[in-house]
Chain A
């Protein structure tokens, strides 16, 4: 039981903020804002981490600046703008929706739509061909089959009474 508990603790430890500095906030709302923003910002140095997770000095600097701006009551958009003006669009995990990023945003949707259209076309085509194609059995075949079935009175088709 204890082992299982430890196992889950270990699993959770990755979720807990790795970078351990704590900042004072005036309100819980500000704290939430800070946490959202630091998770939305990507560390320019260790590029697979958010600045909330990263131990890189630059991430610490960015956290300090986000904290300062949150405390000043600067809006989320303005804080993101302050960061991208220094470090580039790169630090946004969710790039702005603009002409340059349209393809980035809509490729998944396009792929899904193309897939649906392709599957629909295939289904329609196969149904149509099933309806219009020649019957599997011609009239002559059918008549012959009926004859065979009627004529077939072999004992093996009737349930045995002896076994």
Chain B
């Protein structure tokens, strides 16, 4: 075949190429961003406990073992959706979860935990969202994996359900437990 004949197929090749590239993007979740803090220590904070305003928590609450950090609020419908899964993880699998009560009302938040169960070993109360801001939280719920050194390892944006836990989070938690 002459060069000219081959060139005739160029538009077809280009069209198919563009089609493949574009179709690869269909259905991809563009809303989910990787955290900018992956591999960095949890930013500094000084926050009161949700249950006890006299108790102050510092970043050293993340030291010692691999934990989940779950950002939640009573104004967040998706947080209610994932709450039973968090309770299950804490009670049945013994996963240590620290809660970050984000831009919320203390009374409402306490009522929520009373009614729906408390999966958190500690709950940091961040009514202004300052720690959330430093952490790069852009919407609740978000769930982070923090390793035993207090380093941010992973962020999941959105609801944690059984599938997300099994396929996304659990393998990473296991890995950082081995490494830590």
A residues lining the B interface (CB < 8 Å): 44-45, 47, 56-58, 61, 65, 84-90
A85 to B37, CA, bound (A): 7
Rounded to whole Å, the gap between the CB of B3 and the closest CB of chain A is 12
Q: Which of B109-141 contact A (CB under 8 A)?
A: 129, 133-139
Q: Are B129 and A45 in contact (CB under 8 A)?
A: no
List, in ascending order, chain A residues with CB within 8 A of B30's CB. 47
Q: Are B33 and A61 in contact (CB under 8 A)?
A: no
Interface assignment of B170: CB less than 8 Å from any CB of chain A: no
B residues lining the A interface (CB < 8 Å): 30-31, 33-37, 103, 129, 133-139
A47 to B157, CA, bound (A): 15
**Could you tell me the dominant secondary structure of chain B's interface residues?**
loop
- Of chain A, the residue at the smallest CB distance from B40 is A85
Q: Are B135 and A86 in contact (CB under 8 A)?
A: yes
A45 to B103, CA, bound (A): 16
List, in ascending order, chain A residues with CB within 8 A of B33's CB. 44, 87-88, 90
**Known contacts being A45-B138, A47-B31, is A84 close to B103, with CB within 8 Å?**
no
Q: Are A61 and B133 in contact (CB under 8 A)?
A: yes
Rounded to whole Å, the gap between the CB of A2 and the closest CB of chain B is 43
Interchain Cβ contacts under 8 Å between A and B, 19 examples: A44-B33, A44-B136, A44-B138, A47-B30, A47-B31, A57-B103, A57-B129, A58-B138, A61-B129, A61-B133, A65-B133, A85-B36, A86-B134, A86-B135, A87-B33, A87-B136, A88-B33, A88-B36, A89-B36
- Of chain B, the residue at the smallest CB distance from A90 is B33
List, in ascending order, chain A residues with CB within 8 A of B35's CB. 88
Rounded to whole Å, the gap between the CB of B85 and the closest CB of chain A is 23
Q: Are B31 and A86 in contact (CB under 8 A)?
A: no
A85 to B135, CA, bound (A): 9
A88 to B135, CA, bound (A): 11
A55 to B133, CA, bound (A): 16
List, in ascending order, chain A residues with CB within 8 A of B138's CB. 44-45, 56, 58, 87
Q: Are A88 and B133 in contact (CB under 8 A)?
A: no
- Which of these, B34, B103, B136, B139, contacts A86 with CB under 8 Å? B136
Query: Which of A56, A57, A58 has its CB near the most chain B CB atoms (within 10 A)?
Result: A58
- Which of these, A58, A65, A84, A90, contacts B139 with CB under 8 Å? A58
Rounded to whole Å, the gap between the CB of A115 and the closest CB of chain B is 14
A151 to B30, CA, bound (A): 80
Rounded to whole Å, the gap between the CB of B136 and the closest CB of chain A is 4
Q: Are A84 and B129 in contact (CB under 8 A)?
A: no
- Of chain B, the residue at the smallest CB distance from A62 is B133
Query: Which of B37, B134, B138 has its CB near the most chain A CB atoms (within 10 A)?
Result: B138
List, in ascending order, chain B residues with CB within 8 A of A87's CB. 33, 36, 136, 138
A145 to B53, CA, bound (A): 109
Rounded to whole Å, the gap between the CB of A4 and the closest CB of chain B is 39
A124 to B133, CA, bound (A): 60
